[in-house]
Structure 1
Amino acid sequence: MDETRIDFLYLNEQDMIQSGVTDMEKCVEVMCDVYRLMGEGDYLMGGGNNNSHGQPIFFPDEPKHPGMPKNGPDRRFMTMEAYLGGKYHVCGEKWYGSNRENLSKGLPRSILMVMLNNVETGAPEALMSANLISSMRTGAIPGVGAKYLARKESKVCGLIGAGVITKTSFMSIAITCPSLEKVKIYDVFPTSAERLANFIRKNYPHIKVIELSESLEACVQDSDIVHAATSGAIEPEFNEEWLKKGAYISLPAGIKLPKDFVINRARNIVDNWKTYEAWAEELEYPYSSHIPLLGCSLLDYVHDKVLPLEKIQNLGDIIAGNIPGRIDDDEIILFAQGGLPVYDIAWAWTCLQKAKEIETGQILNLWDKPAMA
C-alpha cells in the first residue's frame, strides 16, 4: 500500500453502541487509568498551561453582522483537545455545538463528535459519534471518586437531580459501591425522579429501598454518598448540618455550600487543579460568577487568600499513589468535577479498539496522495 494513502474509520452512534460505548464497568476502569496517567503527568491538554478545559465560541448578545447567531441558553461551540500517553498514545479532540433550543426540535442540547489523530503524523485515525462517549465518561467520574473517597460499606446514596448525567453517574457509583442498599432521589420535577427510580428498580434489584424525597434536606440527610447534578438556573444549597459524618459529596454541577465549611472543615478533592488555574487565566475574578462549579469557588478562595493551596488535592495524585485517599471515616470529602478532554480521548480510543476487533464502522479515504506535498 502507498505510504501516502490515508484512511480513517467513521463510527456512527449504532457503531459506537456495538463497540461498547455504554459499558460502564469498562468505562470506570478506563477513567481510573486516565487519573493514574494524570497523576504521573503523562498527558497534555490545550491552553497556555496545557490543562485547559477547552476553547469555546460564544455568540454576542446583539450581533452586528447579518446571519451571525445570537447568544442564548447553552448557545456555544467548543473544542476540547488532549494528548494522552500510556497505552493510548493518541491525540484527539471533542468538538460540539450546543443550543438549548435543540430540545424543541427533538435533538439533544449538544451534538458531539470526537476525532482521534496519529501522534506522529497528525493523520486522522477515527471520527466518531460522541454524545454517548461524553455522557458515559461524565457518569463514570463520580464512581471513580466513590471508589477512592467514599466510606467502605456505604449503604445510602442521595441523588440530587434526575437527569441523564445522574443516571449514568449512579451506574458508576453502583459499580464501585456494591454495598448500597438505599437510594434517595430529589428533583424539582417529580416525573423525572420517578423515571430514574424505575430505572434503578429495573436494573439494580439489590437496592432494597428507593425513596422519592420531598426536599433537598431529606435527600441529603443520612446519605453516605451524595451526588448533585442539576442544570437549572437556581443552584441547590446545602447546609452543613444536613451532611452525614464521613459523607462523600460528588459535585459535577453548580452547588452552594457554606464558605466556612468548605474552607475549614471539608476535604477538597478536585479532578485536576491545573484546569481551574487555566480558567483563572481565561476568566475574570470572581471565577465562580462565570462557571458555578465548586472548583471555581475554590479558585475564588485561593485568590482571596482564605484557602491555602495545599488544602486542595487532585484525585489523580491519590490514584497514582502520591497522596492517601480517605484518611478516616469521619471526614467529609467534596469532589469537584469540571470535565476533561482526556476522558473523551481515552474512552473513544478504547471503543475504537473494540470497533476494529469486531470490524464495525465505515472506512473513509482522505486521499491516496496529497494534492500538495
Structure 2
Amino acid sequence: MTKDTKIDFLYLSEPDMVKAGVTDMPACVDTMEEMLALLHVGDYRMAGENNNSHGSLILFPEESPHETMPKNTPDRRLMAMPAYLGGSFGTSGVKWYGSNIANRERGLPRSILMFILTDTETSAPLALMSANLLSAYRTGAIPGVGARHLARRDSRVAGILGPGVMGKTSLSAFIAACPDIDTVKVKGRGQKNLDLFIDWVKETYPQITTVYAVETAEELVRGSDVVAYCSSGATGDPSQYPIVERDWISPGTFLAMPALGNFDAGVAGPDVRKVLDYTGLYDAWVSEVPHPTHDHIPLVGMKFMDMVTDGELKRDALEDLSAIVAGTTPGRQNDDEIIMLSVGGMPVEDVAWGTVVYRNALKNGLGVKLNLWDEPVLR
C-alpha cells in the first residue's frame, strides 16, 4: 500500500482573512457561543497541568543583562497560546502573540499575531494565518455572547471605554446581540482616536443615531445599558486601572470587562452579579501568578478571585458564562439585574474562529497553498 506523505497547507494573509469572513461579527458571536458550550462539557484542552492555561509567556527584565536583550516596556511580551477544541471543530492550533506598546512609534499595531491551525490526529499544518483580526474579533465576540444572555433585550445605549480595536469589536458584538442600540458614548485619551472611532461608527453602523465622546468614566457608565471597558495600559497598580463605581450604574446594566478594570466596594456587593467567561482560566491564573493576582492580571475577574482567596467573597458568588450558555445557570432573570462579565481571552477562541475562517477560505478558494514536503527527509 502506497502512503501519501505529501503535506500542503494554506497561507492566509490579512486580506485573505477578510475575504474569508474574519470580520463577520454575528457569525463570530455564534461561534464563540458554540465554543463556550464545549468548554462547559470539557471537550477541549489548553496548556498547563490543569488544561486551562492562557499560554506560555516570555517577559523581559527591567534592566537587561545583555546588550542585545530588550528591556521590559509597557505591554511588552511574547506568548505562545496553544489549544485543542472538540465538537464540530476537532482541530488544534497555537497563536504566537507579540506585543510592545512602542510599536506605535513605528506605525505598527501594538500587537502582531500569527496563528497556525493543525490537524489534531497528525499535527500536520492546515493553515498559517494572519491573526490580528482573528484575535480582535474573537475577543470582542465574547462581550457579544455575554450581551446575548445577560443584557436587557431592549438595550439601546452603549458605553465604550477605549476607542481602539477592542472597543470597536466589542461594540460590533454588542450590536450583533442587541440590534436596538442607537446611541454610543465613548471615552478615550486622545482626540484623534476619538474622532476616528466616531467616524467609524457613523460609517459602519448608520442605524446609530447618536455617537459622542464623554470626559469621564462616570459619564460613560451613567445611563448606559451595555458597557465595555477596553483600554490598554500598564499593569501592577490596580489603583491606576479604570474603575467602575456602583453609584454610576443604572438598574439593568450589563458590563463587559475584556481589559484593565477595577471596581469599588459597592460593585463588590451582592446586588451585582459577577460572571467569569470561563472559571478554569481564572483558577489557572491563581495557580500561576503571585497573590494578589490582580496586580499581575488586570482583569476584574482576578479581583473577584483575590476576594475569594482573602475571604471577602464566597466562591459560589461567581458565575460562569459557559454554564449560562449551556443552560445550567440562568442568564438575565429580570430587567433590573446588574451584571458584570470578566473576559479573559482563551486560545480555544482562536482555534474556534480560525477553524471557521479556514473552512470558509477552502470553500472559496482563498489563500496560497504552500508545500511542507512531498516526502519527509527524516522519519
Whole-Å separation in 1 of the counterparts to 2:233 and 2:62 = 21
Q: Note the alpha carbon deviations across 1:66-117, whole angstroms, 9 max, x for none.
A: 4222222222110111100011001111012222222111221111111111
Partner of 1:339: 345
Matches within 5 A, 1:31-50: 31-50=32-51
The equivalent residue for 1:126 is 127
Residue identity opposite 1:321 in structure 2: G
Distance 2:115 2:358 in 1: 11
Query: Which range is displaced more, 247-256 or 94-103?
Result: 94-103
Residues 315-343 of structure 1 deviation map (CA, whole Å, 9 limit, x = unaligned)? 11111111110122111100001111111
Counterpart of 1:248, as a letter, is F
Q: Secondary structure at the match of 1:94?
A: strand
Structure 1 CA distance for aligned equivalents of residues 335 and 189 of structure 2: 32
Instruction: Answer with 67-76 or 163-172: which moved more.
Output: 67-76
Give the letter for the 1:228 counterpart: Y
Q: What residue identity is the alignment partner of 1:298?
A: F
Per mean C-alpha deviation after superposition, the further-off stretch among 225-234 and 328-337 is 225-234
Are the equivalent residues in 1 in contact too, given 2:275–2:340 (CA < 8 A)? yes
For the residue of structure 1 that corresponds to 2:262, the secondary structure is coil
Per the alignment, residue 51 of structure 1 pairs with 52
Instruction: Quote the residue 2:276 is aligned against.
Output: 270
Q: Is the CA contact 2:160–2:186 (under 8 Å) kept in the aligned structure 1? A: yes
Name the CA distance, whole Å, in 1 between partners of 2:228 and 2:97.
26
Q: Tell me: CA distance 1:71–1:215, structure 2 relative to 1, closer, same or farther (3 Å).
A: closer
Taking the TM superposition and a 5 Å limit, the aligned residue runs for 1:60-139 are 60-139=61-140
Give distance in 2, aligned partners of 1:367 and 1:216. 55
Confirm or deny that 1:300 pairs with 2:301: no
Taking the aligned partners of 1:213 and 1:113, their CA distance within structure 2 comes to 35
Instruction: State the distance in 2 between where 1:32 and 1:85 align.
Output: 14
**1:366 aligned residue:** 372
* Contact 1:25 1:172 (8 Å CA) reproduced: yes
Stretches of structure 1 that go unaligned for 5 or more consecutive residues are: none
Please name the residue that 2:232 is paired with.
Answer: 231
Alpha-carbon offset, residue 282 of structure 1:
0.9
> For this pair of structures, how many residues does the alignment match?
373
| Whole-Å separation in 2 of the counterparts to 1:63 and 1:203 | 45
Mapped contact 1:197–1:210 kept (Cα < 8 A): yes
Aligned residue type for 1:24: M
Q: 1:190 to 1:65 in 2, by over 3 A?
A: closer
User: Are the structure 2 counterparts of residues 153 and 260 from structure 1 closer, same or farther at C-alpha, using a change threshold of 3 Å?
Assistant: closer
Q: Which amino acid aligns with 2:291?
A: Y
Q: Percent identical across equivalent pairs?
A: 44
Distance (Å, rounded) in 2 between the aligned partners of 1:114 and 1:274:
23
Alpha-carbon deviation of 1:2?
Answer: 4.4
CA contact (8 A) 1:2 1:368 kept: no
Residue 325 (str. 1) matches residue 331 (str. 2): yes
Is the contact made by 1:263 and 1:306 (CA closer than 8 Å) also made in structure 2?
A: no
- The separation in 2 between residues aligned to 1:106 and 1:285, in whole angstroms, is 36
1:211 offset after TM fit, Å?
A: 2.8
Q: Give the aligned residue type for 2:376.
A: P
The C-alpha deviation readout for 1:178-224, integer Å capped at 9, x for no partner, is 11122112223233223212222222222222232232211211111
Distance in 1 (CA, whole Å) between partners of 2:68 and 2:233 is 29
Counterpart contact for 2:160–2:228, Cα < 8 Å: yes
C-alpha separation in 2, matches of 1:320 and 1:229: 26
1:219 corresponds to 2:201: no
> Which position in structure 2 is the counterpart of 1:23?
24
Q: Which residue of 1 aligns with 2:192?
A: 191
One-letter amino acid matched to 1:137: R
CA distance in 2, matches of 1:18, 1:184: 30
Runs of 4+ in 1 over 4 A off after TM superposition: none
State how far apart, in whole Å, the 2-side matches of 1:235 and 1:189 are.
Answer: 17
* Aligned counterpart, 1:157: 158
Asked if 1 retains the 8 angstrom alpha-carbon contact of 2:244 and 2:267, the reply is no
2:141 corresponds in structure 1 to 140
Cα distance in 2 between the residues matched to 1:294 and 1:170: 19
CA shift at 1:260, angstroms?
Answer: 4.6
Q: How does the TM-score come out when normalised to structure 2?
A: 0.95
CA RMSD of superposed structures (Å):
1.4
Of the structure 1 ranges 310-319 and 69-78, higher mean CA displacement relative to structure 2 is found in 69-78
Once residues 104 and 121 of structure 1 are traced to their aligned partners in structure 2, the CA distance between those partners, rounded to angstroms, is 42
User: Equivalent residue for 2:9?
Assistant: 8
Secondary structure at 2:244's aligned position in 1? coil
Range moving further from structure 2, 314-323 or 64-73: 64-73
3-state secondary structure, aligned to 1:153: coil
Distance 1:210 1:166 in 2: 14
Q: Specify every segment of 5 or more residues in structure 2 that has no aligned partner in the other structure, as ranges.
A: 235-239
